[in-house]
A = this chain, B = another copy of it.
Amino acid sequence: MPKVTLKVLANKLGLSTSTVSKALKDYSDINEETKLKVQELAKSLNYTPNAFAQGLRNQESKIVGVIIPSMVHYFFSNIIDGILKEAEERNYMVVLMQSNEDYDLEKKQVDVLLSKGVDGIIISLANKTRDFSHLAKIIDYNIPLILVDKIAKTINCSKVLIDDRKASYDAVNYLIQKGYKRIAHFRGDLNPQNSIDRFLGYKKALLDNNIEFDPSLVYVCDNNSDFSDGYENAEKLIADHGNNVDALFTVNDLLAIGAINYFNENNIKIPERIAVFGFSNWFMSSVISPSLSSIEQNGTKMGEKSAQILFQEIESKHKQKPIEFQKVIIDTELIIRKSC
């Protein structure tokens, strides 16, 4: 089967490729009749423009790149979901890469995306990423970049995130209003910004309520994508503090669920003996027992918004308009369930 290109259309109609091209793009200097003839033939022969040639000529790929730390995460799945929806509407393709929380891989993937000529990039950074030169490179290349959730404060680009500090402040504050006083915190890695902010929100809620901040109640879960980390730290928590702790606020639901598993197995009643509050509102949090209170982070909306901004910026760039970076805060919501 011979590929149907502009040239074969042109030959069949006794026209030139330029005329055919212009006819298909509705140029004003082509006769309406010939336009129709060309368009009909194109349709009947199922002509589709060669994407490589277009890319080469127009310097745009109609592809955007997305790098996330991990695929198998409810939150990230939702982000992708939102991005795919927006891309679909605009006939853009999305190439997806996962960094596996590995900085070197993340860096390499940025290079690949740049060399493939993607029109824009959305990244949620790996936890360990401290060096942002690869992001600077994207900006140097003049490729629109959006950071989502796991962001870098110092990089000058649009960002979509939640107010981690406020969200966790609200959660802890809720616990305090409910009467809990000795509230432990399983925090995430020391590095990523939202881990820090969630910790700070936790601390501020304590202070604002005149509860002394006790550093020994804070556990660093640097492997926080693993729920066994939550299980083990729950064990440690009880070993360390015995009855002198009555609530637990975790940096994500996975840790909370690990902890719940430990408490359940050891007959530590939730929420009577200890309350638990998670973060991110994974689907499973609504179906475990006891169901877990959490913070709805709205991954889908974050993905959608990121993509919207990205396409805006791509368009602005195309029109040579200056682009001004946005920082969008997506609303969160306390989801109160039976664990507190």
Contact = CB atoms under 8 A, between A and B. Distances in A.
A288 interface: yes
A160 interface: no
Nearest to A65: B93
A191 to B, nearest CB: 24
Contact of A52 (B61, B72, B95, B264): B61
A338 B48 CA distance: 55
Contacts of A50: 56, 117
A271 interface: no
A84 B97 contact: yes
A36 interface: no
A96 B94 contact: yes
Nearest to A115: B48
The A interface, classified by DSSP as helix, strand, loop or mixed, is helix
- The 9 A-B pairs with the shortest beta carbon distances in the complex, nearest first, are A289-B289, A284-B284, A52-B55, A48-B115, A52-B56, A71-B81, A72-B77, A51-B116, A96-B96
18 contacts: A1-B140, A51-B55, A51-B117, A56-B56, A63-B95, A71-B80, A71-B81, A72-B77, A72-B81, A77-B77, A84-B98, A88-B97, A91-B112, A93-B95, A94-B95, A94-B96, A94-B97, A264-B289
Interface of A: 1, 48-53, 55-56, 61-63, 71-74, 77-78, 80-81, 84, 88, 91, 93-98, 105, 111-112, 114-117, 140-141, 227, 257, 260-261, 264, 283-284, 287-289
